[in-house]
Amino acid sequence: MSIQSLNQESVVQRLALTRAVMEQNGIYALLVPSADPHLSEYLPVYWQGRQWLSGFQGSVGTLIVTPTFAGLWADSRYWEQASKELADSTIELVKLQPGQPGPLEWLAEQAPAGATVSVDGAVFALASARTLEGQLNDRGAKLRTDIDVLNLVWTDRPELPNQSIYEHLPPQATVSRVDKLNLLRETLHARNADAHFIATLDDIAWLFNLRGSDVSFNPVFVSFALIESERATLFLDLNKVDVELQGRLQRDGVTLRDYAEINAALAALPVTTRLLIDPARVTCGLLSNVNSEVAFVEGLNPTTIAKSQKSLDDAFHIRQAMEQDGAALCEFFAWFEKALGHERITELTIDERLSAARARRPGFVSLSFNTIAAFNANGAMPHYHATEQEHAVIEGDGLLLIDSGGQYLGGTTDITRMIPVGTPSREQKHDCTRVLKGVIALSKAQFPKGILSPLLDSIARAPIWADNVDYGHGTGHGVGYFLNVHEGPQVIAYQAKAAPQTAMLPGMITSIEPGTYRPGRWGVRIENLVLNREAGVSEFGAFLKFETLTLCPIDTRCLEPSLLTHEELEWLDAYHAQVRDRLSPLLKGAALEWLETRTEAIS
């Protein structure tokens, strides 16, 4: 759920109100990140302050307001969308590009001596606060994190979410919460830490085998966790947990306290405590409650690595979820091809029909993100979302891009496919084929165990770069296990820092999704999910390879086969043979006929 779109007049009025409050409090610049106290990517509406103030509805972006300037920093995925939504709002779109100052760097360069820069510390990462504060101090400016300016002007702010919490149960939950907590405590002991504070919602949901629906598409719930040697405390809305679940948690050594009590609990930690925190995943506002004598042990949350490495039992359930998801897609595409040209189909229709097909499959819980159904020029916006006010009718000639996914009890899916409408042009086919070459190149790669994931990016880009073409987003992101569709720590993107925690390890699930975008014309992206698997050991060390998890035909009518090598054609035929073998038992009638047609060999 998002804050409703605003007209530019409302944005201008809200900016004026905000500037008045800033002046009253001696604030020169206000930083408004896309964040909550859990530093989530997707936010409950209560924390969608950047959307409320700017009118920009993209999931990622940073707003800065000064007395004479307002700017919205966004990456290339959102440039077209932001240009439309910020038009006449007096907010300038600042395009994030390699080598150019980001919002924090801009503030550090522009803030005059003696100025105060304000950000709500409750939603600002400790690591970011340290960086910005240091840079501002060098200029004689200062950072203020103890005031939430938006709360003073956002009079109709929504309530916190109140959806029920439920258990992720066996067989899909393959490890008990007791065992996970014991393993975490072993890690704490190894790091010489007495306690661990966790604010990230997917880490908490995974650790306690609990799920919720406080955040659209992500099965998580608003909460904090404090893990100590003898007890584990969950801070949440107690009304969300029924009596039976409370009892089971208590028997497993889990104490429940109200969400609002976290500040007091942090303040009550003994001064002798050694507290493990991840400075990139905990906010400075929360940690300001901790006694200054408490020692911080800093590092990546142990749960982040643990949940990224899916077990063999997890992989079994994930493969089943992929089969169900693939079957739903086959049913949808069979309907689509039959209806095209005979029924009125819009981008909204596609979302409705595809969502309904998924909802019929066993184990389905929800979508994993807003479906992107983008025809021709709309496909050039990587995060396009059709609305009742603005959407395309699927007719004529061109390319339809569908990026979609589902949450199943046994896994999370994310897939992008290109569909021809009418007769695609030669250039469109070349773009689709070039992108597929990138998918195949990375899918076939074998690489050293522990390689830093950003270093793999060029394998997918090389066939695309060869034609002087590139794309602005990363090639791959981690994916959770019935959790967030975007999950760390690994990311395949040369723009990302090749940090030690991005090492590729067995069991990780990652997307492979290169693309090509031609603004105003069309966009191409093909995406599969892959699983890191052991590939053997030699005198040079251990190696990994990818198992392709996603099961759905890649429409060869969008391709120019002559541009594919013999090895690439073999890969495509082998993939289609696997898709046909795995999905055929789940289908019948028109959907089965469609599958058989779309998986015919082309080499």
Domains, the chain, with CATH or none: 8-153 (3.40.350.10), 166-304 (3.40.350.10), 309-598 (3.90.230.10)
The CA distance from 7 to 55, in Å, is 8
Q: Is the pLDDT of residue 405 over 60?
A: yes
Q: What is the pTM of this model?
A: 0.93
User: Which pair of tokens denotes residue 585?
Assistant: 């038992």
The CA distance from 301 to 280, in Å, is 10
Span 148-201, pLDDT tens digits:
999 999 999 999 999 999 999 999 999 999 999 999 999 999 999 999 999 999
Residue 6 is predicted with a pLDDT of 52
How high is the mean pLDDT of the chain? 95
Residues ≥6 apart with Cβ < 8 Å to 302: 184, 187, 188, 196, 276
| CA atoms 491, 494, 497, 498: torsion sign | positive
Predicted confidence band of residue 7 (pLDDT cuts 50, 70, 90): low
The CA distance from 235 to 160, in Å, is 14
Output DSSP code: residue 393: B
Give the bridge partners for 372, in sequence order. Answer: 403
Percentage of residues of the chain with pLDDT beyond 70: 99
Residue 94's SS3 state is: strand
Span 344-385, pLDDT tens digits:
999 999 999 999 999 999 999 999 999 999 999 999 998 898
DSSP 174-218: -S-HHHHHHHHHHHHHHTT-SEEEE--HHHHHHHHTEE--SBTTB
What average pLDDT does the segment 11-33 reach? 95
Q: Is the pLDDT of residue 107 over 50?
A: yes
Residue 98 is predicted with a pLDDT of 78
Span 64-79, pLDDT tens digits:
999 999 999 998 888 8
Residue 598 is predicted with a pLDDT of 98
CB 399 within 8 A of CB 406: no
What average pLDDT does the segment 30-52 reach? 94
Q: Which pairs with CB-CB distance under 8 Å and at least 24 residues apart come from 580-586?
A: 582/323, 582/326, 582/551, 583/323, 583/326, 583/327, 583/330, 583/551, 586/323, 586/324, 586/326, 586/327
User: Which pair of tokens denotes residue 112?
Assistant: 């005059």
Residue 1 is predicted with a pLDDT of 37
CB 222 within 8 A of CB 236: yes
- Report the run of H or E that residue 156 belongs to, with start and end: none
Residues ≥6 apart with Cβ < 8 Å to 175: 311
CB 412 within 8 A of CB 479: yes
Residue 78 is predicted with a pLDDT of 85
The CA distance from 597 to 395, in Å, is 23
CB 274 within 8 A of CB 193: yes
Percentage of residues of the chain with pLDDT beyond 90: 90
The CA distance from 73 to 97, in Å, is 10
The CA distance from 448 to 536, in Å, is 10
Distances (CA, A) of 378 to 327, 518, 520: 27, 10, 7
Span 269-287, pLDDT tens digits:
999 999 999 999 999 999 9
Closest alpha carbon to 113 in 134, 143, 146, 142: 142
What average pLDDT does the segment 503-521 reach? 97
Span 448-473, pLDDT tens digits:
999 999 999 999 999 999 999 999 99
